[in-house]
Amino acid sequence: MLNWKTKEKIIKNILLFFAFSSILFLTGIIIVLFKEGAPIFSKVGILEFLFTSDWYPTYDPPGYGIFNLLSGSIVVTIGAMVIAVPFGVASAIHIAYILPKKFKNIVKPTIEMLAGVPSVIYGLFGMKILGPFLREVFGLPTGLTALNAMIMLGIMALPTIVSLAEDAITAVPQNFRDASLALGANRLETMFRVILPTASSGIVTAVILGMGRAIGETMTVLMVAGGASLFPSNILKPVRPMTATIAAEMGEAPVGSEHYQALFGIAIILFLITLIFNIFADFAQQRFKKKVSGE
């Protein structure tokens, strides 16, 4: 029979293992990514890989320049943010400050539910409803374009932005609001001069995490972005973001081939971008916490 001290020790270690397992998974993913993808950088050269735009992995001689794919991802993400940030922040303000409590408890969960809709459903919507609509309106050969992807990703990033921005605004101490109102400021002045400036770094976190959601999204862009590896000079033309490229081509790339390595190379770039987003988001979050706790 084990005594309680030994039992406690065993339980502690089991919990420790679970706690560390996610770090273990992350490390594993990084190792695999770099092991499979890094060779392409030495073969093609990292600058060539990033900044040339011939993506012909199956030609002879092949081209492994991802510039069009990279800029496709970036342009679509920026477009999504242009749509999602004004909508998201405005709804967050409304939910946090104007909506009576009883409605807030309905509206916020509803918006958050948007995050739970499978991305293939967004893809279907973009493909079969928004696509034909854009084609009609702009007189295009196809509605599957960068614009379509921007709109869909914008909608998909909304719940993240609304939910986190609303949390940030609500986290601004009531104190500040009272102080401002007691000085004779109206609600609008209080919102724009005290509450939003205080919540700003929290809102920045919300936007960065929304961007992370948009740039990493795969299924929807695969379905609605059109898939042509063109430079995104016109948002009414198809693009081929990095995620869609990996998803579409990995099945046909022989394991260990240059093409296979190049797709892993793209994954490394994507991973680094989202890593940077997360670091920035974390940094902004720290700043926000400091601000509202008054240190």
Partner 1 sequence: MSEIKMEVKNLDFYYDDFQALKNINIPLESNKVTALIGPSGCGKSTFLRTLNRMNDLIEGSRVEGEVLFDNENIYKENVDVVELRKRVGMVFQQPNPFPKSIFDNVAYGPRIHGLKDKDKLEEIVIESLKGAALYEEVKDRLDDSALGLSGGQQQRLCIARALAVKPEVLLMDEPASALDPVATAKIEDLIDELKNNYTIVIVTHSMQQAARVSDNTGFFLMGDLVEFDQTDKIFENPSDQRTEDYITGRFG
Q: Which residues bind partner 1 (CB under 8 A)?
A: 100-101, 173, 175-176, 178-186, 189, 193-194, 197-198, 291-292, 294-295
Q: Which is nearer to partner 1, 205 or 261 (CB)?
A: 205
Nearest in space to 187 (alpha carbons), one of 94, 273, 256, 249: 94
Q: Which is nearer to partner 1, 150 or 194 (CB)?
A: 194
Smallest distance from partner 1 to CB 183, Å: 4
Type and span of the H or E element at 184: none
End-to-end CA distance of the chain: 52
Quote the crossing angle between the two packed helices 258-293 and 242-249, to the nearest 10°: 140
Smallest distance from partner 1 to CB 189, Å: 5
For residue 86, is it left (φ>0), alpha (ψ between -120 and 50) or beta? alpha
Greatest CA span in the chain, whole angstroms? 79
Q: What is the DSSP string of 75-127?
A: HHHHHHHHHHHHHHHHHHHIIIIIS-HHHHHHHHHHHHHGGGS-HHHHHHHII
Which residue(s) pair with 56 in the sheet? Answer: 63
Q: Which is nearer to partner 1, 189 or 282 (CB)?
A: 189
Q: Which is nearer to partner 1, 149 or 292 (CB)?
A: 292
Tokens of 269: 């770039």
Smallest distance from partner 1 to CB 111, Å: 22
Smallest distance from partner 1 to CB 224, Å: 42
Smallest distance from partner 1 to CB 93, Å: 17
DSSP 228: -
Q: Which is nearer to partner 1, 25 or 192 (CB)?
A: 192
Smallest distance from partner 1 to CB 46, Å: 42
Q: Which is nearer to partner 1, 73 or 190 (CB)?
A: 190
Spatial contact of 227 and 123, defined as CB atoms under 8 Å apart: no
Smallest distance from partner 1 to CB 294, Å: 5
